[in-house]
A and B are shown apart, each in its own frame.
Chain A
Amino acid sequence: MVLRYLGKRLLHAVLVLASVLVAVWFVVNAIGDPARLILPPSASEQLYLDTRESMGLNDPILVQFWRSVSGWLTGDFGISVWQNVPALPLVLERLPATLLLTTVTLGVAVPLALALGIISALRPEGPLDRTLTTISLAGVSIADFWLGLMLILVVGVHLQLLPTSGYGGLEYAVLPATALALRPLGRLAQVSRSAMVEEMQKPYITTLRAQGMPEHTIVRKHALKNSLIPIITVGGDEIATFLNGAVVIETIFAWPGVGGLFIQAIERRDLPLVTACVFVIASMIIVVNLLIDLAYLWIDPRTALTETRRRRAPWSRAAGKNRSTSKSSQSPSTSPTTSPLAAAGGADTGGSTR
Chain B
Amino acid sequence: MVAGVAASALVLGACSGGETEETAADDTGGAEVTIALPEEPRTLASWNAYSNDGHPVLRNVTEALLNRDPDSNELVPELATSWEQIDDTNWQFTLREGVTFHDGTPFDAEAAATSLNFVLDPENAFPMRTFLGPDVTASAVDEFTLNVETESPDPILPTRLYFVTIPSPEQVDDPDRYETNPIGTGPYAFESWNRGQNIVLTANEDWWGAESDEAMGEQDIAQATYVFRPETEVRAGMLSSNEADLAPRITSEQCEAAPVCESTPTVETVVLRLDTPNPLLADQRVREAIALAIDKDQIMNDILGGGETVGQIVGPGAVGYADLEPYPYDPDRAAELVAEAQADGVDVTAPITVIAREGFILRASEAVQVIAAELQEIGLTGATSETQETAAFEEQWTIGYDNIPEDRAWAGLQQHGQELMDYAGSIGGYYSCDGQTSAYCDPTLEDMYAEAVTTSDDERQEALAAIAEYVYEEVPVVPIGQPNFNFGMTERLEWTPRMDGFILLKEMTVSE
Instruction: Tell me the smallest distance from the CB of B418 to a CB of chain A, in Å.
Output: 17
Within 141-179 of B, Cβ neighbours of A (below 8 Å) are at 179
Dominant secondary structure at the A interface: helix
Which residues from B are CB-within-8-Å of A92? 9
Check if B123 is an interface residue, CB within 8 A of chain A: yes
Q: Is the CB of B230 within 8 A of A157?
A: no
Check if A96 is an interface residue, CB within 8 A of chain B: yes
Q: Is the CB of A286 within 8 A of B43?
A: no
Which residues from A are CB-within-8-Å of B240? 157-158
- Residue of B at shortest CB range from A257? B196
Within 194-241 of B, Cβ neighbours of A (below 8 Å) are at 194-197, 227-231, 233-234, 237-238, 240-241
Q: Is the CB of B227 within 8 A of A99?
A: no
Q: Is the CB of B179 within 8 A of A100?
A: no
Instruction: Tell me the smallest distance from the CB of A348 to a CB of chain B, in Å.
Output: 29
With the chains together, A133 CA to B229 CA distance in Å?
36
With the chains together, A260 CA to B194 CA distance in Å?
15
Q: Is the CB of A99 within 8 A of B13?
A: yes
Bitwise, A287-323 to B at CB < 8 A (1) or not (0) is: 1001000000000000000000000000000000000
Q: Known contacts A103-B14, A169-B18: does B196 contact A93 (CB below 8 Å)?
A: yes
Which residues from B are CB-within-8-Å of A82? 42
Max chain B C-beta neighbours (<10 A), residue from A42, A82, A165, A261: A165
With the chains together, A222 CA to B122 CA distance in Å?
75
With the chains together, A102 CA to B48 CA distance in Å?
35
Within 245-303 of A, Cβ neighbours of B (below 8 Å) are at 251-254, 256, 260-261, 267-269, 280, 283-284, 286-287, 290
Check if A149 is an interface residue, CB within 8 A of chain B: yes
With the chains together, A166 CA to B237 CA distance in Å?
13
Q: Is the CB of B130 within 8 A of A254?
A: no
- Residue of B at shortest CB range from A90? B195
Q: Is the CB of B238 within 8 A of A165?
A: yes
Within 179-204 of B, Cβ neighbours of A (below 8 Å) are at 179-180, 194-197
Check if A17 is an interface residue, CB within 8 A of chain B: yes
Q: Is the CB of A167 within 8 A of B3?
A: no
Bitwise, B76-110 to A at CB < 8 A (1) or not (0) is: 00000000000000000000000000000000000
Instruction: Tell me the smallest distance from the CB of A21 to a CB of chain B, in Å.
Output: 10
Bitwise, A18-62 to B at CB < 8 A (1) or not (0) is: 000000000000001000010111111001000000000000000
Instruction: Tell me the smallest distance from the CB of A44 to a CB of chain B, in Å.
Output: 7
Check if A2 is an interface residue, CB within 8 A of chain B: no
- Residue of A at shortest CB range from B195? A93
With the chains together, A17 CA to B2 CA distance in Å?
9
A85's contact among B126, B179, B227, B237, by CB below 8 Å, is which?
Answer: B179
Bitwise, B1-18 to A at CB < 8 A (1) or not (0) is: 111011101101110111
Which residues from A are CB-within-8-Å of B230? 251, 254
With the chains together, A68 CA to B234 CA distance in Å?
40
Q: Is the CB of B123 within 8 A of A47?
A: yes
Interface residues of A, CB < 8 Å — how many?
59
Which residues from B are CB-within-8-Å of A10? 3
Within 227-258 of A, Cβ neighbours of B (below 8 Å) are at 251-254, 256
Q: Is the CB of A100 within 8 A of B18?
A: yes
B3's contact among A40, A163, A286, by CB below 8 Å, is which?
Answer: A286
Instruction: Tell me the smallest distance from the CB of B464 to a CB of chain A, in Å.
Output: 22
- Residue of A at shortest CB range from B229? A254
Q: Is the CB of B243 within 8 A of A40?
A: no
Q: Is the CB of A252 within 8 A of B6?
A: no
Check if A95 is an interface residue, CB within 8 A of chain B: yes
Q: Known contacts A83-B179, A152-B233, A251-B231: does B196 contact A168 (CB below 8 Å)?
A: no
Q: Is the CB of B17 within 8 A of A165?
A: no
Check if A84 is an interface residue, CB within 8 A of chain B: yes
Bitwise, B416-452 to A at CB < 8 A (1) or not (0) is: 0000000000000000000010000000000000000
Q: Is the CB of A97 within 8 A of B5?
A: no
Which residues from B are CB-within-8-Å of A166? 197, 227, 243
Q: Is the CB of A84 within 8 A of B125?
A: no
With the chains together, A92 CA to B6 CA distance in Å?
10
Bitwise, A90-110 to B at CB < 8 A (1) or not (0) is: 101111111110010000000
Which residues from B are CB-within-8-Å of A93? 195-196
Q: Is the CB of A84 within 8 A of B48?
A: yes
Interface residues of B, CB < 8 Å — how many?
55
Check if B279 is an interface residue, CB within 8 A of chain A: no
Check if B323 is an interface residue, CB within 8 A of chain A: no
Bitwise, A62-103 to B at CB < 8 A (1) or not (0) is: 000000000000000000001111000010111111111001
Q: Is the CB of B436 within 8 A of A42?
A: yes
Q: Is the CB of A84 within 8 A of B45?
A: yes
Check if B496 is an interface residue, CB within 8 A of chain A: no
Q: Known contacts A42-B129, A287-B7: does B20 contact A168 (CB below 8 Å)?
A: yes
Check if B127 is an interface residue, CB within 8 A of chain A: yes
With the chains together, A251 CA to B45 CA distance in Å?
25
Instruction: Tell me the smallest distance from the CB of A158 to a CB of chain B, in Å.
Output: 8
Which residues from B are CB-within-8-Å of A268? 390-391
Which residues from A are CB-within-8-Å of B197? 166-167, 254, 256
Check if B26 is an interface residue, CB within 8 A of chain A: no
B17's contact among A90, A96, A158, by CB below 8 Å, is which?
Answer: A96
Check if B21 is an interface residue, CB within 8 A of chain A: yes
Check if A160 is an interface residue, CB within 8 A of chain B: yes
Q: Known contacts A100-B17, A103-B14, A256-B195: does B2 contact A85 (CB below 8 Å)?
A: no
Within 109-166 of A, Cβ neighbours of B (below 8 Å) are at 149, 152-153, 156-158, 160, 163-166
Q: Is the CB of A153 within 8 A of B237?
A: yes
- Residue of A at shortest CB range from B179? A84
Check if B389 is an interface residue, CB within 8 A of chain A: yes
Check if B22 is an interface residue, CB within 8 A of chain A: yes
B391's contact among A168, A170, A269, by CB below 8 Å, is which?
Answer: A269
Q: Is the CB of A43 within 8 A of B125?
A: yes
Check if B398 is an interface residue, CB within 8 A of chain A: yes
Q: Is the CB of B14 within 8 A of A99?
A: yes
Check if A213 is an interface residue, CB within 8 A of chain B: no
Q: Is the CB of B3 within 8 A of A290?
A: yes
Max chain A C-beta neighbours (<10 A), residue from B45, B233, B241: B241
Bitwise, A152-194 to B at CB < 8 A (1) or not (0) is: 1100111010011111111000000000000000000000000
With the chains together, A98 CA to B6 CA distance in Å?
14
With the chains together, A160 CA to B123 CA distance in Å?
52
Which residues from B are CB-within-8-Å of A83? 42-43, 179, 195
Max chain B C-beta neighbours (<10 A), residue from A157, A158, A169, A280: A157
Max chain A C-beta neighbours (<10 A), residue from B48, B126, B227, B243: B243
Check if A13 is an interface residue, CB within 8 A of chain B: yes
With the chains together, A34 CA to B100 CA distance in Å?
39
Q: Is the CB of B195 within 8 A of A164?
A: no
With the chains together, A170 CA to B17 CA distance in Å?
9
Q: Known contacts A47-B125, A84-B43, A252-B234: does B21 contact A168 (CB below 8 Å)?
A: yes
With the chains together, A17 CA to B195 CA distance in Å?
27
- Which residues does B use to contact A, with CB under 8 Å? 1-3, 5-7, 9-10, 12-14, 16-22, 42-43, 45, 48, 122-123, 125-127, 129-130, 179-180, 194-197, 227-231, 233-234, 237-238, 240-243, 389-391, 394-395, 398, 436
A-B contacts, 28 of them at CB < 8 A, read: A14-B1, A14-B3, A37-B391, A40-B125, A40-B126, A82-B42, A84-B48, A90-B195, A93-B195, A93-B196, A97-B196, A99-B17, A149-B231, A149-B234, A152-B233, A153-B233, A156-B237, A157-B240, A164-B243, A165-B229, A166-B243, A169-B22, A256-B196, A256-B197, A268-B390, A280-B6, A283-B3, A284-B10
What 4 A-B pairs have minimum CB-CB distances, sorted nearest first?
A256-B196, A100-B17, A283-B6, A99-B13
Known: A283-B2, A287-B6. 8 other contacts (CB 8 A): A14-B1, A149-B231, A160-B241, A169-B18, A254-B230, A286-B2, A287-B7, A290-B3
